Amino acid sequence: MAETARTSDVADTADDRGVADVADTADDGGMADVADVDSFREAVIDWAAGGPGDRARELAARAPVRTAVLLEGLSDAAAVNALAACRSRNLAAEGVCVVPMGGAMSVGRFAELLGPPGLGLRLTGLCDEAERRFYARGLERNGAAGQPFFVCAADLEDELIRALGVARVEELIRAEGDSRALQTFLRQPAQRGRTPQQQLRRFLGTKKGRKIHYGRVLVEALGPHTTPAPLDALLTHL
């Protein structure tokens, strides 16, 4: 399949937990709604891990949540939240809850709790190509087969590196003070034979928290017409 088609692929079967500062755009009631959505996210994650569901149900009745965005991890959530902020959108105030699940294999559990069998929310998400089958199966088994999700050609980091280009990503790494760490990484024998793009993708995953940090940094560096197709399609869909 052509690269362009893959990066914009929408499956038919289908935080940093921070919320962008809305002090200038929301009144006190709006801020309360945003806080409720944050609390709802935390309650859902606890519920999916085996905790009680009472708190999530209570908040679902009170918070303005209509859509849950099911993401594999915190770095994906950081990127989605950053792009929304760049576009002057407050997802929580719009009734959208971004949910980092801690792995694609949990999608069935979250779809059960949040989708038609549970709270009845509209579901969508973003995943890596290798995890497409988990999303498709998890949504289908929980009555949400017609709700679309969006698929990265490899993963979101790969999409962002290709969108920005190797040279620009290296500039951003230097600006973030990680130049020495990158050079040390590139001298490792295991990196020989890999393309610069593959090396950068590996580098972003070598330290705890780095993927989350650069999920935001890389998105904020995107131009108006360079957003990776799956990420752009997800935001447009919301």
- Tens of pLDDT, residue by residue over 10-42, are 444 333 433 333 334 444 445 546 788 999 999
DSSP 98-137: EEE-SSGGGHHHHHHHHSTTTT--EEEEEEEGGGHHHHHH
Select the more confidently predicted residue: 153 or 67: 67
Q: Which residue from 221, 228, 229, 231 is spatially nearest to 170, judged by alpha carbons?
A: 221
- Measured over the CA atoms of residue 66, residue 72, residue 76 and residue 77, the dihedral's sign is positive
Task: Give the domain ranges of the chain.
Answer: 3-153+228-237, 157-220
Q: In what order do the strands lie in the sheet with 67-71?
A: 10-11, 149-152, 122-128, 67-71, 96-100
Residue 206 tokens read as 């070598």
Give the pLDDT mean for 108-114.
98
**Residue 109 CA, distance from chain mean position:** 17
> What pLDDT does residue 14 have?
38
- 132-175: pLDDT as tens digits: 999 999 999 999 999 999 999 889 999 999 999 999 999 999 99
User: What predicted TM-score, i.e. pTM, was given to this entire model?
Assistant: 0.84
Res 31: pLDDT: 55
Q: What is the pLDDT of residue 7?
A: 37
